[in-house]
Every structure is written in structure tokens, then in C-alpha cells.
Structure 1
């Protein structure tokens, strides 16, 4: 009797590897998103920050008047109170200033200037500070000592004093006659030079830890040049603290610009920021036209507070000790 052939066991086909989740799916499953959803205050701060940003971008469509266009201004409409007051006139929702400029429109356009100076100032200071921090931490020695001693000297002066000094020197060299665009550039430069130290010191400390790890030794072994190692391999691992500093410094940059403008060394009245509007309104505070200074001041306070709350949450969310 012939033995029946024993059938070989059927092997189950290997399961195809699961496709990697898209980045937004991974983000929605992350601890950062869970922390964000748990904090109602952070969600409110994010909403207000995005609202201010959107209002600044769409100022030309939302504002009933272009406060930078003299053809749209009428001195006969000056110092009109807000719309809910007895003498309020439509469409001036928040009243007008001494030039007949709609306060609501001026706030929207002033937000655009303040945020532009803030973002550009943070971008400049972050770029400068990250580059110097990478160089100091990676090479060490004399280069590190020189950069850090310059940083230590600058830390002895308040940021607003450094910004005033740089702003005054640049304007004195240029003769004091600067266009609004040139004034904006000077403000960005002075604010950027005032805040680079925090980035440099933070990045330097992180680089000194990262450069002793195995992946950096492997990169050196295969002959990668130092700039490639610093920017491609070291920099991505130190961006967490930099992001927190940038968020907090955005609020500081906006406050610094507003302070400079309030002191008369910032944006001119023809292209006002929130600080310029507050300085203008301060001249009429005791004459009864309270709305000229009150509404720009409230807008600035809410904007800065929202960004600070966002920065505080981001600092806690990216801190591995608090997870």
C-alpha cells in the first residue's frame, strides 16, 4: 500500500509592512497635540494669535480705510469718538485720531507693521545666534571663547538699550533722514542684534553635548565637512529649545519695537505701528480722547500676552522632563 503523500503545511504569506502614517496623523497622536488639547488657555491664546495674524494679513480687505493714504484722510473727521458714544459716526467703529484716521483701520495696519518687525527681527536674531552657537560649540577653543565673551558683554546691557544704541548709530550715520522702509530695516537690524545671545548660548550648549556622540564621529569618519555636519546633523537635534526661544522672543521683539516707536525712534507717523499709535494717543489722553491710545494699547497687550502664553506652553510641551 502506497503511503499517501503528506501535504506540506501552507505558509501564510508575510503581511505587507504597514504604510508609514502621514505626518499629520503622527502629529495628532503625539504628546504635544494631547497637551495642546488639554490646555484651554493655550487654545485660546493660539486662536487670538492666529486672529491677529489673519487680521494683519487681510487688513487691506477688512479695514474701512487705508490710514497710510493721505487722500483718504479728512481733518473734519478728526477726534470722532467710538460708534457707541453719543457723537459716534459710522463707519468709525473705534473712533478717529487727530488726523481723521480711523482707529480700527490704524490698528489693523499697525498690527501688520508690528508683526512684520517682530517676525523679521526674530528671524535675523535666530539666524545669527544659531550660526554663532554652532560655530562656538563645534570648534571650541579660541573661537568659542571670543564669541562667548562678546555674548557676555552684550548680556550686561538691557535689550532695549542695545536696540536704542544700534538704532541711534545707524540713523546718525545715515543722516537721520530715512524712508519708512529703511526705518523698518533699521528696527529689524537693531532688534535682531539685541536677542541673538540667547540663541547662541542655547545652541552652543546643545552642540557641545551632541558633538561627542557616535553619529558625529561616524560623520567625521566618512569625511563630511564641518558645515555639513553642523547644519545637516547637529542642527536638527537642537531646534526644540530654539523654537521655544523664538516664540517668546517674538513677543519681546514686538514690545521692543513698540517701546522704540513710543520713544520716537521707531516707525514714523506715516507708517505707524502699534507703538507709534500709542505714542500719538498719549498726547491726547488727558484731553478726553481716550480711545486714541486705549484701543491700540489693548490690542498690543492682548497680542503679546497670547504669544507669551503660547511660548510658555511650548516650553513645557517640549520639555522631556515634564512628559
Structure 2
């Protein structure tokens, strides 16, 4: 038993040593900009996901709000209070807490939207590339039509259609789900086109021919054999589209068709804050906007590095 445990531990150490000495990990450690971006991203993700525990207050609990604390400047400005480090908004909500909760909402909704888009795009792409013919033509022509419109317009269209189908009383409760579906239906095309191209290459290789000789079902060949070999470019698209999805969610909320004011994301906070920008309360819009910019920038830097690292031709 002890020998087996020691062998397992030795195997685990060798695996980690191999990962640590891999070209991808060495390139990651050598790129200081990516290291800083990853650190900032990790801080933002951790702070946002732990918002209920690390935020000073719950900014969306109406019972805890005090209008007498509304529009207070940041603590370092005259009239500010150390109780509200980044100031307060027009409803007396602590801006630090609001930004943390807004980050949490934007990240969760955008992540779900990107995963939905990836699931749709990968499924359609691998089916189109494997079967070809009419199925391929139908899926790709649909993708071409969607590419002729900006993603934000597709998201607005889907958002409007879904909201019109819901009862008025349930629209606020279903707002997050509607945004997730809107993002998913707006970003599936890139995954489908990329996976289709990779599948058309993979299906001509010997291991796929061998699987067919064993009379394996097409679904098994696509899922077990082809799918793992077409995932490298998908990881890059996932990282970059995560940033785009966050911007799309923020844009929808800024335009007033996203989350309601009592469940705000970063976009909602920016929309609320811009109404007070010219009256001197700059912090209400500045801090959510700064958090959004840093979040998207770090994701883009990480996505660009991952694209170059996984494709030696781009080095």
C-alpha cells in the first residue's frame, strides 16, 4: 500500500514537473505583461466571486441604504468618509460594494453566455465539418448571414424578441437568462467556423479512418476522437470572446435592456453614473468604467498571448 502511494505521489510530481517545464508554461513565465494581466484578472475574479463576503455592505439590500449618505465623494476627497472608500451613488450605495457585486454579475452572466455560444458553435461546427453536403451548406450560410450584422445588433434583436415573449411581471426576474441567451446566439459563429475547418482536416486522418473501420457510430467518432483534437483554437476564442461578451452585456445594460437597476451589472452602474457625471459626481461612473476596462484588457492580453503560444507560426 505504501509503495503504491509513493508511486502515485512520484507520478504526480513528475506530471507537475512536466507541466512546469513545458514550452507553454516557460513562455508564460517569461512574459511579464501576461503575468501582470493574469494577476490582475485573478484579483478581479476572486474579489467579485467572493463579493458577498469581502464587500463592506450589500448594496442591493434596500433596508441597509441611507439616503443621507447619497453622493458622498471618495474617502480621499473633501467631504468623503472612510466608511465609503470609493464614495456612494445617488441611492447611498457604497460604490466599492456596488462595483464588486456588479463585477460578479457581469462575469457570471458573460461566462454563461460564452459557454452557451461555445456549446452551440462547437456542435454545429463539428456536424458541418464531418458530414458536409447540405448540412454544411445550411449551417455555414446561416453563419454568413449572421456575420453580416454586428454582434450587438443580434443581441439586441434576440433580447427584444425574448422580452416580448415574457409576461411583463417576469421580465426583471428573467433578465439575466435573456442576456445569457442573447450572448450565446450572438457569438456562436466563430466557434462553428473554426471547428468546421479543423474537423474537415481531422476527419481525413488515419485514426478517423480506423474508427470507421471498426464501425463506430458517427457521434462517437465526433465526440471521442475528433472533438479533443479541435479544441486548441476554441480555447483562444473562448478567452477573447469572454471579454467581448462582458462588453456586450455592459452595452445591453447601458442601453436599458439588460439587468434592472436593483440588480445592476457594470453596464447598469455606468448608465446610472453617467447621469451625474456633469454635476460633479464623477466617481459614480468612473470606478465601474475603470473596473470594466481593466477586466476586458486583461482578458484580451491573455487571449492574445494564448493565441500566439498555441500557434508557433504567429511567434
RMSD: 1.3
Q: Are 1:98 and 2:90 counterparts? A: yes
| Corresponding residue of 1:121 | 113
Deviation at 1:172, TM superposition (A): 1.0
1:38 CA displacement: 1.1
Q: Is the 8 A contact 1:63 1:104 kept in 2?
A: yes
Q: How far does residue 60 in structure 1 lie from its aligned partner after superposition?
A: 1.0
1:189 maps to which residue? 181
Question: Which aligned pairs between 1:1-323 and structure 2 lie closer than 5 A?
Answer: 22-322=14-314
Q: Find the structure with the greater CA-based Rg.
A: 1
Distance change >3 Å, CA 33–CA 128, structure 1 → 2: same
Deviation at 1:25, TM superposition (A): 2.0
* Aligned equivalent of 1:15: none
Q: Please give the TM-score of this superposition, normalised by the length of structure 2.
A: 0.95
- Which one has the bigger helix percentage? 2
Structure 1: runs of 5+ lacking an equivalent:
1-17
Deviation at 1:178, TM superposition (A): 3.2
Q: In the superposition, relative to structure 1, how do residues 293 and 183 fare at CA in structure 2: closer, same or farther (>3 Å)? A: same
Q: Is the 8 Å Cα contact of residues 191 and 256 (structure 1) preserved in structure 2?
A: yes
- Structure 1 stretch displaced more, 169-178 or 207-216: 169-178
State the distance in 2 between where 1:320 and 1:228 align.
31
2: CA distance, partners of 1:23 / 1:178: 50
- The Cα shift of 1:36 comes to 0.4
Q: Structure 2 unaligned segments of length 5 or more: list them.
A: 1-9
Aligned-pair distance for 1:320?
A: 3.0
Q: CA shift at 1:19, angstroms? A: 5.8
In structure 2, distance between residues paired with 1:22 and 1:208: 36
Deviation sequence 1:15-57 (CA, Å, 0-9, x none): xxx9686432221111101110111000011001111100011
Deviations 1:119-138 (A, max 9, x none): 00110000000000010000
Q: Distance in 2 between matches of 1:304 and 1:103?
A: 20
In structure 2, C-alpha distance between the alignment counterparts of 1:98 and 1:89, rounded to whole Å? 15
8 A Cα contact 1:171 1:177, kept in partner: no
d(CA) in 2 for partners of 1:59, 1:211 = 46
